[in-house]
Amino acid sequence: MSDNYLIGLDYGSESARGVLIDTVSGRQIASHTHAYRHGIMTRQLAGGTLLPHGWALQNAADYLEAAEIILGKLGRGRRVASIGVGFTASSPLPATRTGIALSRLQPDNPHAYVKLWKHGAAQQYADAINARGGAFLAHFGGRLSGEWLLAKAVQIATESPATWKATDKFIESGDWLVWQLTGNEVRSLGFAAYKAQYLDGEGYPDGILPDLDSRLTAPKRIGSPAGSLTEAWRKKTGIEGSAVVAVAVIDSHVVLPAIGAVKTGSLVGALGTSAAYLLLSEQYQPLPEGIEGVARDGSIRDLWCYEAGQASFGDTLSWFVKQFPRADTPSESFRLYNHEAASYYPDKNPLVALDWWNGNRVPLADSRLSGMLVGIGMDTTATAIYRTLMESLCFGARSIVELFEAGKIEIDRVLMTSGLAQNNPLLVQIMADVMDRPIDVPALDNPTAVGAAIHGAVAGGVVADYHEGAARFGARGYRQYKPDKTQAAAYAPLYRIYRNMAASTDVRRAMHSLRSADV
């Protein structure tokens, strides 16, 4: 009997989702979502230990619980050819040599937990690394982000030497989950290159921390098999068949084959809690100023992938709706705000905002920056502010596109994906107007999880390559948003104001001062 199914797992910031795909028809036949038991811990641990300002932690045990439930729901009694994993990043954790998460052994120690990507307390250590410099920063614009693995390793070693001494392995949560599922510590080149500055032929950077290299492992490129599901996990989940598990992929990157972005010139915006922008190219060009990083074979095999992003995207709108609700449920509040915001036009809504509500990722790589709203008056409505926040997100996206263009990297097609892109047509239309270019949104449910399944299919030999995987299991149609030329012209002066605000060193200095309470 052949293995007839693929499973793709998408681990986001607050929940995990899985899809089951029939290898014959290529269709999704089931999906399941599971919220993490402990969520995102920003104020205290489950046991009551208080956390400092700027911390964002997760419990690795939640990932295992989600995997057991989702794999059991989707795979029990079925023959599964492969399993792919997409995981939010950078979210590293300390573990023992056998793979036990340190938080299981030290539940009251904050440094023993997963440091989620939005954990901003490591920025000062990234700043110190950047000040020293080094050749390993060449593909990352000369600077690290405090979100990434190296800065978080230095934070643990500096603030809790005993924790670092007990850390045999410092590992991205996606790689750690693959280790648990297969029994093999096999790391992903995507995580290693983009989040730990690994360079093929040179390894991880020297001079960051003594013995850091011993806590890391050389990675494999995406689409590689890490091993098959262990017997213990087969018993837990009831999965049969070969069940080959692929190396993990960064969640924003894993979506690429699902939406047909498998060739040069494709620019993809993965619009989630935060936003990532990925530009694929056959030819290497020096990293454009302000863009976060570039690596080969970490996203789609045999292509360079340039990465940029906004530290806050969907969570900016979620924050506003939660603070200023219009109805009993967030979904109804969103519906009402979007309905009313559709009638607000740029020339009738004289507000401009900076989209730095969770810091700035590109071009400043500074998590200490914050949001800003200019033009508010006694006649300003909540809907006007909501619309302005949407516009600010689109201004931030346009500024990133302009950085790519300034670096002379060709953009043939722009795609936007995620539930937000599918479910908020007003936002995508504003994006098309602000950018003054057409935007395609794939007609595909659960695209990130489907992308993970395609990575698994490549690793398991179900398909020969990502082109075949995209054709068999990916999107089969797109909705195109075309720019309204009148609206595009009306956004031009507002965008200039946005750029001037973003360029102001006085504004950034004030934000730093307020964040440190040094006023």
| Residue ranges of the chain whose pLDDT lies below 50 | 1, 518-519
CA dist 229 to 17, 84, 182, 309, Å?
A: 18, 11, 5, 33
CA distance 492 to 496: 6
Tokens of 267: 């620019």
- Which pLDDT value is given to residue 124? 92
Note whether 193 and 281 are same-domain residues: no
Strands, E, within 381-457: which ranges? Answer: 413-417, 439-442
> What CATH number is associated with residue 208?
3.30.420.40
Q: Domain boundary residue among 252, 272, 288?
A: 252
- Distance CA(86)–CA(12), nearest Å, equals 8
In a domain, 465, yes or no: no
Show the CA angle centred on residue 131, arms to residues 127 and 137, nearest 5°. Answer: 90
Report the alpha-carbon distance of residue 85 to residue 254 in Å, rounded. Answer: 8
- Least Cα distance to 279 among 262, 298, 266 occurs for 266
Q: What average pLDDT does the structure give for the chain?
A: 95
Domain boundary among 192, 227, 252: 252
Tokens of 69: 């439930």
Q: In whole angstroms, what is the distance from residue 136 CA to residue 195 CA? A: 12
Domain boundary among 234, 252, 270: 252
- List b or e across 21-56, with b for residues whose CB sees 16 or more CB atoms inside 10 angstroms: bebeeeebeebbbbebeeebbeeebeeeeebeebbb
**Whether residue 226 sits in one domain with residue 190:** yes
Is the residue at 47 inside a domain?
Answer: yes
Q: Give the single-character DSSP code of 137.
A: G
Q: Domain limits at 309?
A: 261-444+476-519
Q: Are residues 158 and 274 in the same domain?
A: no
**Percent of the chain beyond pLDDT 70?**
99
Shared-domain flag, residues 181 and 290: no
169 vs 215: CA distance, rounded Å: 4
Q: What is the DSSP string of 200-226?
A: TTTBSPSSSSTTTGGGS---B-TT-EE
What pLDDT score was predicted for residue 517? 56
Per DSSP, 288 falls in state: P
Q: Are 205 and 291 part of one and the same domain? A: no
pLDDT for res 1 = 44
Per-residue pLDDT tens over the stretch 127-138: 999 999 999 998
Specify the number of domains making up the chain: 2
Q: What is the residue type of 390?
A: M
Distance of alpha carbon 387 from alpha carbon 485, whole angstroms = 19
- Return the HEC string of 301-370: CCCEEEEEEECCCHHHHHHHHHHCCCCCCHHHHHHHHHHHHCCCCHHHCCCEEECCECEECCCCCECCCC
Q: What is the pLDDT of residues 454-477, one digit of tens each?
A: 999 999 999 999 999 999 999 999
- For residues 346 and 35, give the distance between their C-alpha atoms in angstroms, rounded to a whole number: 38
Q: Are residues 247 and 287 in the same domain?
A: no
268 shares a domain with 244: no
pLDDT value of residue 519? 40
